[in-house]
Amino acid sequence: MKDNYLTAVFWISLCLVALVVLPGTIIPESFQDITRNVRVLIGTDLGWYYLLLVTFIVLFCLFLIVSPVGQIKLGDPDSEPEHSNISWLAMLFSAGMGIGLVFWGAAEPLSHFAIATPAADPGTVVALEDSLKYTFFHWGIHAWAVYAIVALALAYFKFRKKEKSLLSVTLKPLFGDRTDGPLGQVVDSVTIFATVIGVATTLGFGAAQINGGLNYLFGIPHNIWVQLVIITVTTVLFILSALSGIGKGVKLLSNINVILAVGLLAMAIAVGPSVTILNEFVDTIGHYLQDFFRMSFRTAANDEGQRAWIQGWTIFYWAWWISWSPFVGVFIARISKGRTIREFLVNVLLVPTVFSFIWFSAFGTLANSAQIMDGTLAGLATEEVLFGTFSYYPLGALLSGIAIVLVFSFFITSADSATFVLGMLSEDGSLYPHNRTKVIWGVLVSLIAVVLLASGGLDALQNILIIVALPFSFIILLMMLSLYIELNHEKKEMGLSIKPENYPEKDEPFKSYEDGGII
């Protein structure tokens, strides 16, 4: 029996990971300086490109929603979804940015209000309004559009065209069967590389955040040994979850995450300034919609200070979402069979976005209100801001305890999802990767996180993740062109306008690239 994980893509991606992990371990300071300089150069010289790209992705998603191709199912015409709407949304949300909401829920609005503001002076009423508006902007439709377009292309070619679950196959309308050779191996290796780096970085920073919370609440030492214990426990749990399969482990954890998150959110609104939170939510949505395109294209060409803020926040986020889109896209695609393109895009773009807006309205208002009270909250470390915020309100200790459990649960879910995705990609797109493959990747990712935490190389790894976003952004552009070509071909074959005239036969999908791609 063939060891499926010993593929060329597996070994290529492993070598790519070693090329960045070894310098980050041996010469962490020098490597960090080099990667930081490259990252700053990208943000300075190509910020305009990221703004145009992500906004174009948003507009392309909206075009597909209103287009007749929105009726096309991600699967055979008679296929039905594998998961309920609640479980589906819970899984895509947990994999996409669940842990980020807990980490940044209070910290980002506070930073935009009191530390580094987008445009106004810190602590002013304008800065207070901008704090939530720009947080909505960073975590809203733009972020989910990046995830959605990658996931849509993967799901469409897998379930509609009966191709493998690999990013390389989404380029077949352009390159034909050449995607089965070296070209495809490069694309899929970059996908695995980005996923490993992203998950290792998340494990490292997640362990630091949990350690920070335990230190703030209980005085537990903030050091590498505590973080090592946290990563070890997390690794055991997410590997056990991964071995149970996506229909059990990830789904169960995702549903638990949603229950805990909704419970924490409801309690925060109840103990905080409830009316102010709701007013901020409604008011900020208005500002967000009103300035949607202004923020989307804002480069601050004539203001160096504001331009630096955009590069440090907006451009950073756009690159971060792009670099995470292979992992999140593969996972969302895997769980989205049977849904129409329109249903898929509307739900992926709007449901997590609205929940995120409510989340940031609640925790951002709690943090900003606490800062206005005595002005000391902004002095805390980022990983301690949420716990410091809770200390100003009733039931603060209980809220902090739930938050730590939620971070831990999101932590396990993200790593579990990533292990599954890495297994899929390593086994030539298999929807049911072998347990041995998942264990190998789970252990490797955790070891990378531990080694880099101990050597201080995590910052360099984060820089690498942002750098990887640049070449992958070109792959996304090719994926969008390829998807448009194939959807347009199917639209013509089906006579698709309001209602299709022809459907593909079962297991005989329409393919524009039957005789090779156009390039």
DSSP string, 272-341: S-HHHHHHHHHHHHHHHHHTHHHHHT---TT-HHHHHHHIIIIIHHHHHHHHHHHHHHHHHHHT-TT-BH
Q: Is 472 helix (H, G, I), strand (E, B) or coil?
A: helix
- For the entire predicted model, the pTM comes to 0.88
Position 388, amino acid: G
Dig out the tokens for 372 from the structure. 């206005």
DSSP per-residue codes, 353-410: HHHHHHHHHHHHHHHHHHHHHHS-GGGS-GGGHHHHHHTTSTTHHHHHHHHHHHHHHH
Residues in the chain with pLDDT values less than 70: 1-6, 94-98, 244-251, 457-458, 461, 498-501
C-beta pairs of 22-31 under 8 Å, 24+ apart in sequence: 23/460, 24/452, 24/455, 24/457, 24/460, 24/461, 25/451, 25/452, 25/455, 25/457, 26/455, 28/452, 28/455, 28/456, 28/457, 28/460, 29/456, 31/457, 31/460
Sort 222 into a burial class: Cβ within 10 Å, 0-12 / 13-18 / 19+. Answer: middle
- Under DSSP, the state recorded for 162 is -
Q: What pLDDT score does 264 carry?
A: 94
pLDDT in tens, 279-332: 999 999 999 999 999 999 999 888 888 998 998 899 989 988 998 888 888 888
Q: Contact, 449 vs 207, CB < 8 A?
A: yes
Sort 403 into a burial class: Cβ within 10 Å, 0-12 / 13-18 / 19+. Answer: buried
Q: Contact, 207 vs 452, CB < 8 A?
A: no
Q: What does each C-alpha distance from 2 to 6, 223, 243, 285, 427 come to in angstroms?
A: 8, 43, 20, 54, 11
Dig out the tokens for 74 from the structure. 């991600």
Phi, psi of 391 (to 5 degrees): -65, -15
Length of the chain equals 519
Q: Could you tell me if residue 73 is left (phi over 0), alpha (psi between -120 and 50 degrees) or otherwise beta?
A: beta
Q: Contact, 238 vs 434, CB < 8 A?
A: no
Sort 15 into a burial class: Cβ within 10 Å, 0-12 / 13-18 / 19+. Answer: exposed
Phi, psi of 356 (to 5 degrees): -60, -40
d(CA 212, CA 88): 32
Question: In whole angstroms, what separates CA 362 from the centre of its chain?
Answer: 22
Q: What pLDDT score does 474 carry?
A: 92
d(CA 108, CA 118): 12
Pick the closest to residue 43 from 466, 462, 461 (CA basis): 466
Q: Is 13 helix (H, G, I), strand (E, B) or coil?
A: helix
Q: Contact, 101 vs 260, CB < 8 A?
A: no
- Largest separation between any pair of C-alpha atoms in the chain: 69
Q: What pLDDT score does 2 carry?
A: 47
Cβ neighbours of 265 (radius 10 Å): 18
